[in-house]
Structure 1
Amino acid sequence: MKVLVVFGATSAIAQAYLNRVAARYDRLILVARNAQAVEEIAAHLSVLAKADVEVVTADLADIAGQPALLDRVFASPVECALIAYGELTDQQRCIEDHEYAMRQMQLNGTSTISLASGVAQKMVKQKSGTLAVISSVAGDRGRRSNYFYGTAKGAVSTFLSGLRSDMVSQGVTVITVKPGFVDTPMTKEFKKGLLWASADTVAANIDAAIAAKKPVLYTPWFWRYIMLIIKLIPEFIFKRLPL
């Protein structure tokens, strides 16, 4: 039986991915905090894919609750897992509100690392599996406009790089997904431009990366080169740029 689990199933990217691949699986496990929203998604997928859809309501930022959650999700072998939860951090609020900043670091950083680690160990026990985790290009270099969010995502990307190396001989594939600007409800207040992509585009790229077992995906593709240029800017120049 082919099983897909999506952590953060109510995110726009996760929904687009599920719509794209649901028919390929026998069973879908949707994990999210918002019970009503995830139930609506499950009902839609049940019709779309004719698959067995299970809903699990959980606060994924609650690290203490993750072991029990993973025991439930991995009661039978899981072929593929996508970690897609998180939220866009308010940089100025982080500067002014320490507690908010630390909650954001846990939501976007440490809880994701904890969950990815737990998923990987479950897949090691079953001797197979693919884990894809949505990080961000924001983690490639600290910028004054979003360094709290970027720090969390940078930690996730660094962790996944090490995890991927650790898993290479154990039959588990680890994929880091680094989207750039994505047009979703989370970014509705932002002015859109040429660098923006739809959730459907990102989902299609994730699908292709999983099929190819691509270690790191920049999506859309041009963000790899944008971030390469940004990373090559000398620090004495970079720190003065309004990025």
Structure 2
Amino acid sequence: MKQSIHKTVLILGANSDVAKQSFKQYLQKGYSVIAASRNTASLENFVKENQLDQAKIKIIYFDASDFASHQQFYDNLMIKPAIVVYAAGFLVDNQKALLDFKGAYQMMQVNYMGGVSILNIIAMDKSNNNLERIIGLSSLSGVRGRKSNFIYGSTKSAFTQYLAGLRQELSSRNIIVNALVIGYIRTKMNTGLKLTESLIMEPDYVANFVVNAGSSFTIVPNFKWKIIYFILKILPESMVAKLP
């Protein structure tokens, strides 16, 4: 990805750990950043703590699950983005989601429905000649349904399929769509989960794949996770059923 001091990146769900590191790396490459999140105070503290260039940063409120506000949110952007990153995410334990639909629905709203809502608006604005790339953060949990996390995984699977179709829709306008299919990351969302330490990636490592996304649709950070991704794709259903 070439440097640009004239292009703007819009990060939706910018308060996630990967999004924050992407935020920093985009700034280092010379981009301006619009960081959008429900928790604007956290983003403001992040900017101050890391002594980031405030002249290139705009922090604004965005609620992925408030679909009715998305059109106005986009219309109010003073500068339309060249790059859009959808990083909003929400996770509820699978058993809780099975017993209480509220948690399942919230995952659907944030992980999938919110992305479709705002990205449709952005993608269909043909007056925005700046737009060159849309990146969605998905998950290996969405590759195959597994009993430990299939509700969360279903929202990520749906989001990946949406991005695949959006890529085809936008190809005639030379707009690239990428899906980052991500494994375990050391983030606040995963705090308390029992994860294999050797497979955990750091947020800044994953952010590097976001900021340097190429032309391929599916991007799987880390060679170990690439192997796991391909195994999951070809594994017989009888063996998938034995996975946790």
Fold-level similarity (TM above 0.5): yes
1:236 to 222, 235, 238: 238
Is it true that 1:215 corresponds to 2:220 in the alignment?
no
Tell me what 1:18 maps to. Answer: 23
Q: For 1:81, give the aligned amino acid.
A: V
Tell me what 2:3 maps to. Answer: none
Partners of 1:130 and 1:5 lie apart in 2 by 11
Tell me what 1:99 maps to. Answer: 102
Gaps of at least 5 residues in structure 1 are none
Partners of 2:74 and 2:207 lie apart in 1 by 24
Partners of 1:76 and 1:206 lie apart in 2 by 21
SS at match of 1:183: coil
Is it true that 1:56 corresponds to 2:60 in the alignment?
yes
Tell me what 1:89 maps to. Answer: 92
Is it true that 1:155 corresponds to 2:158 in the alignment?
yes
Change (3 A) 1:188 1:103: closer
| Distance apart, 1:188 and its partner CA | 1.9
Tell me what 1:111 maps to. Answer: 114
Answer with 229-238 or 59-68: which moved more: 229-238
Answer with 112-121 or 141-150: which moved more: 112-121
Partners of 1:71 and 1:221 lie apart in 2 by 40
Counterpart contact for 2:116–2:162, Cα < 8 Å: yes
Is it true that 1:126 corresponds to 2:128 in the alignment?
yes
Aligned length in residues: 237
Q: How does 1:193-212 map to 2 (within 5 A)?
A: 193-209=197-213, 212=214
Is it true that 1:145 corresponds to 2:148 in the alignment?
yes
Is it true that 1:3 corresponds to 2:8 in the alignment?
yes
Post-superposition Cα deviations, 1:160-218, rounded to whole Å, max 9, x if no partner, equal: 00100111111211111111000111112134411111001101122221xx2332111
Q: For 1:136, give the aligned amino acid.
A: S
Counterpart contact for 1:30–1:53, Cα < 8 Å: yes
**Percent of aligned pairs with the same amino acid:** 25
SS at match of 1:189: coil
Partners of 1:37 and 1:48 lie apart in 2 by 14
Is it true that 1:27 corresponds to 2:32 in the alignment?
yes
Partners of 1:53 and 1:172 lie apart in 2 by 24
Counterpart contact for 1:10–1:38, Cα < 8 Å: yes
Partners of 2:232 and 2:28 lie apart in 1 by 39
Counterpart contact for 1:25–1:51, Cα < 8 Å: no
Change (3 A) 1:130 1:21: same
Gaps of at least 5 residues in structure 2 are 1-5
Change (3 A) 1:101 1:169: same
Q: TM-score, normalised by structure 2?
A: 0.90
Counterpart contact for 2:92–2:103, Cα < 8 Å: no
Change (3 A) 1:96 1:182: same
Q: CA RMSD in A?
A: 1.8
Partners of 2:76 and 2:215 lie apart in 1 by 26
